[in-house]
Amino acid sequence: MLLLNPGPVTISPRVRQSLQRPDLCHRESEFYDLQDEARRRLLAVHALDPDEWSAVLLTGSGTAAVESMVASLVPADGKLLVVENGVYGERIAAMARQYRIAGDAVRHDWLSPPDVAAVAARLAADRNITHVAAVHHETTTGRLNDLAALAAVCRAHGVRLLVDAVSSFGAEAIDFAGAPIDAVAATANKCLHGVPGASFVIVRRDALERACSRTYYLDLVRGATLQDRRGTPFTPAVQAYYALVEALREFDEEGGRVARHARYASLAEQVRSGLAALGIAALLPPEESSVVLRAYRLPDGRSYDALHDALKARGFVIYAGQGGLARSLFRISTMGAVAASDVTRLLDGVGAWVRDGSPDSRDEPVSVVPGGVGARANL
Ligand SMILES: Cc1ncc(COP(=O)(O)O)c(C=O)c1O
């Protein structure tokens, strides 16, 4: 089964093999060697200086890393402005509310890009805002938010940026040097091709000095401090760290971030043009989309469930739209051990489904739960 959902990804045989390494106690030097290598290689993805930046590993999914960043890095007297244009921006705002962090949001509907002028106006109107949080690749729609434009506005107002790069780190460009970024949260099991269970925050060391630890388990300052001393606060997901390190070695040997971006871009274009030839339109134009995942419009009268099941029968797992988009969209990611020949087979499968053409027997609307999210849609 080839996974074309936005993580976990299909891993390479080499990364799978790394899961077979010996059992390892996390208080032994061999574990700290592994942890050190992971931290060093994560910084090397963007050639970051370890004196200026720290890669803090967490055991947990991408949400753990985002929550650690948000709950730790807004100072006690700070204020957070969240840019929301999809599920993941809204999740950051929910975290901030849960931790009672003072703040506000600039809200957009899920199909819109961030209104940078509105963000600037909010920053100008409220000089107490210290941080802006934004999602780099809003996986809800496949939109690559314009981080450079948001960074410029933050810089102009002396505000720091917290970035959810869970579905972009390792593939899309991030200007760590030029942008007023305090931290970037990401995960092992998306563009880096590791397995679920390990995530991380790349944080500016001086931001840790201003931090406010509102959370116990996800305390970024404790994690950074102990990991710098070849320690770890709790029992980490050792096997997920094995896989992350092996995936990072493979990533480097394959040419690093630029090569991964090129590989994804080529696969994403193959999917886009192939689906367009079958009459299936992309939600967003390529210049507004990530190379990681794209959303496509279901043909009129055809259901996601039927497409999903037809492709699963051929060995592919695709992904539904989220929330209100569940009935009109599907999503395809090109992360992981995916080759052009796989995409060709995928397109053959979609072509057969399109030609089949009969109204799907399962065309009834997706059942909607009170939160407005379709039963088979993904939170
Ligand atoms: C942009 C973004 N942020 C956060 C998450 C949450 O990651 P996880 O499901 O690993 O907790 C995702 C998951 O797809 C994501 O795409």
> Which atom of ligand 1 is found nearest the CA of 66?
4
Task: Report the predicted TM-score, pTM, of the whole model to 2 decimal places.
Answer: 0.95
- Residue 2 pairs with which residues in a beta bridge? 316
87 lines ligand 1 (CB under 6 A): no
166, 189, 191, 195: which to mutate for ligand 1, most atoms within 8 A of CB? 166
Secondary structure percentages of the chain, helix, strand, coil, to 5: 40, 15, 45
Token pair, residue 5, equals 């959902």
CB 96 within 8 A of CB 103: yes
CA 295 to chain centre: 15
CB 334 within 8 A of CB 348: no
167 lines ligand 1 (CB under 6 A): yes
Query: 3-state DSSP call for residue 240?
Result: helix
Measure Cα distances from 153 to 146, 168, 177 in Å. 11, 21, 16
Query: Would you write out the chain's pLDDT as a tens digit for each of its 379 residues?
Result: 999 999 999 999 999 999 999 999 999 999 999 999 999 999 999 999 999 999 999 999 999 999 999 999 999 999 999 999 999 999 999 999 999 999 999 999 999 999 999 999 999 999 999 999 999 999 999 999 999 999 999 999 999 999 999 999 999 999 999 999 999 999 999 999 999 999 999 999 999 999 999 999 999 999 999 999 999 999 999 999 999 999 999 999 999 999 999 999 999 999 999 999 999 999 999 999 999 999 999 999 999 999 999 999 999 999 999 998 989 999 999 999 999 999 999 999 999 999 988 665 444 444 333 323 333 444 4
Rounded to 10 deg, the angle between the 116-125 and 147-156 helix axes is 20
> Which atom of ligand 1 is found nearest the CA of 136?
1
CATH topology of domain 256-356: Aspartate Aminotransferase, domain 1 (3.90.1150)
303 lines ligand 1 (CB under 6 A): no
Which of the listed CATH numbers 1.10.3720.10, 3.40.50.300, 1.10.645.10, 3.40.640.10 matches domain 13-253? 3.40.640.10
290 lines ligand 1 (CB under 6 A): no
H/E stretch holding 183 reads: strand 181-187
Sketch the domain layout of the chain as residue ranges. Answer: 13-253, 256-356
